Structure 1
Amino acid sequence: MEDQMIFDLHMHIEESTALGWQMSAADCIRAMDEAGVERSAVMTLTDLPGLNPQGLELIAEACEQYRDRLYGFLRLNPAHLETSKQLLKQAVTELGFKGLKLHPVSTLQHPGGVATIDLVRLAGELGVPTLFHCGDEPLSTPLSIAQAAAACPDATIILGHMGGYFHVDEALDVAERFPNIILETSAMPYPDKIRTAVARVGAERVVFGSDGPVSSPNLEKQKVVISGLGEEAAGLVLGGNAEKLLGLAA
């Protein structure tokens, strides 16, 4: 895999003392280089509109500074629906952002709620995917996010962490039911489940992510490397799928 282009679909740039995590754009690039990652999707650690009113500008400036390496996802709170819709339109159409990030736990917005569905539909209309935090907490389980997938069949939905520690099998079941769902590997601790995901839904619907700085890109990459995928499938999971998903493939 020495020549494999690796794309991390889930990294953060922001200084959040409340959460205890900090990563500047330069820190992000350094972590990518150490892990052999060429490109990353980056987003804030907090939601807009919210604690960091400069979150949009922060990500836009990072992507401009490291063009062809960093690609922006806008993390939004559906509770502020009209403002969030305006920000998403601006981010995608004016600033070249490549996706929407939603974290139901931090926003306390159910994935099946009217506001969330409205925002996911808008992302689909704009041609960008929605990355959900998908784990073990209430509001974030795969079955909860499946409601958004069912309501927005034309939108691409990525299950970040593919169910976390205890809901991975549920994430696999949901992905089999809804073809618009993609599974993302970050902070999910079982390499064999990556292999199972490829077997059940196809290598084209599994993508590598690290959740840096919350998790280590180097460590998270090794989960995919040791999961026992063949060379072709590993190439798709580690980078090929993300490039195609974000419209960057040649």
Structure 2
Amino acid sequence: MIIDAHCHVWPDAIARKVLANKPVGLDPVHDGTLDGLRRTMDAAGIDLAMTLAVANVARTVQRTNEFVGTVDRSRFIPFGTVHPELPVEENVASLQDNGIVGVKLHPLFQELSLADGRTREILTALAENGIPVIAHVGCGGDHTQNERGASKHLPALVQGIPGLRFIAAHFGGYHDLDAAEEWSVGACVHLETSWPPSLGTLPADRIRSIIRRHGADRVVYGSDWPMTDPATEITAVRSLGLTAEEEAGVLGGNLARLLGIEELVSA
């Protein structure tokens, strides 16, 4: 089974507007809609995908969660949104009311810093309610945005939160693999493999070393759809020179275990 941990989705009309602005300076490869994602998954042989929906401002948290909460659960795993300007209880209630499985944090687009105590308060509440988190970690924006998501904040952010399940996207250091190796590799997180425009642009021997030093059982595949093509990214994972067991874990088994859906992998 292949599970994609990193697929951004929007309502159809909003997807067109968002992608027309070339987020983080990248040209989208696909259309950002749920139907488009389903077609992409079918073509790439992907069984399940985490559908990530992010509210840039507090006032859109509820309607964003209402949207992603309606996805087809046979193919999509809905990851919704929170915002530090809302009370923690309101954030959690919005997720629960809409049947949201997990949360995406995005320091580039939200006024949310990995160094902010409010973010740690949110993570603590999510962990208490059994809600996993995936977060953009690293660069991709201007100086202020990059500082909010800097890898150096990650170890302190996640340390000592009982039950926290945290996925650090982009190996925990987008556009700064040195920082990822210094701060994210070995931290109490799962690392995720996406690296737009493609994981294949990185040296395979270095990535293989990062995966094994962190623990291949704590690394999950993600594409960052629609900014990359998942089939190309799966090929990149398969070109890293991992063992068959390591590769199967990265492509789906590790994430299934993290999300508590192992029975789907063995079915």
What is the TM-score of this pair, normalised by structure 2?
A: 0.81
- 2:58 is paired with a residue whose SS is coil
- 1:101 is paired with a residue whose SS is strand
Is 1:72 aligned to 2:78, yes or no? Answer: yes
Is 1:98 aligned to 2:101, yes or no? Answer: yes
- 1:158 is paired with a residue whose SS is strand
Q: Decide whether aligned partners of structure 1 residues 164 and 114 sit closer, same or farther in structure 2, where only a CA change above 3 A counts.
A: closer
Residue among 91, 112, 133 paired with 1:87: 91
Amino acid of the residue matched to residue 90 of structure 2?
A: Q
Q: What is the aligned-residue RMSD (CA, Å)?
A: 2.2
Q: 1-side partners of 2:49 and 2:158: how far apart?
A: 24
Which of the two has greater strand per residue? Answer: 1
Q: 2-side partners of 1:89 and 1:134: how far apart?
A: 26
In the TM superposition, residue 28 of structure 1 has moved relative to its aligned partner by 1.0
Q: Decide whether aligned partners of structure 1 residues 88 and 193 sit closer, same or farther in structure 2, where only a CA change above 3 A counts.
A: farther
Residue among 105, 122, 125 paired with 1:122: 125
Amino acid of the residue matched to residue 8 of structure 1?
A: D
Matches within 5 A, 1:32-181: 32-47=41-56, 49-50=58-59, 54-62=63-71, 66-78=72-84, 80-82=85-87, 85-91=89-95, 93-136=96-139, 137-150=146-159, 152=161, 154-178=163-187, 180-181=188-189
Q: 2-side partners of 1:116 and 1:70: how far apart?
A: 26
Q: Decide whether aligned partners of structure 1 residues 166 and 55 sit closer, same or farther in structure 2, where only a CA change above 3 A counts.
A: closer
Q: 2-side partners of 1:10 and 1:222: how far apart?
A: 16
Q: Is the 8 A contact 1:111 1:147 kept in 2?
A: no
In the TM superposition, residue 145 of structure 1 has moved relative to its aligned partner by 2.4
Which string of whole-angstrom CA distances, capped at 9 and with x for unpartnered residues, describes residues 21-73 of structure 1?
A: 642211111111111110011112543634575211211112xxx22210111
Q: Is the 8 A contact 1:48 1:75 kept in 2?
A: no
Structure 2: gaps of 5 or more residues: 21-27, 140-145
Which string of whole-angstrom CA distances, capped at 9 and with x for unpartnered residues, describes residues 148-171 of structure 1?
A: 112535412211112455422332
Residue among 7, 19, 23 paired with 1:11: 7
- 2:114 is paired with a residue whose SS is coil
Q: Is the 8 A contact 1:48 1:76 kept in 2?
A: no
Amino acid of the residue matched to residue 92 of structure 2?
A: L
In the TM superposition, residue 183 of structure 1 has moved relative to its aligned partner by 0.5
What is the TM-score of this pair, normalised by structure 1?
A: 0.86
Q: 2-side partners of 1:40 and 1:194: how far apart?
A: 23
Amino acid of the residue matched to residue 43 of structure 1?
A: L
Q: 2-side partners of 1:203 and 1:223: how far apart?
A: 16
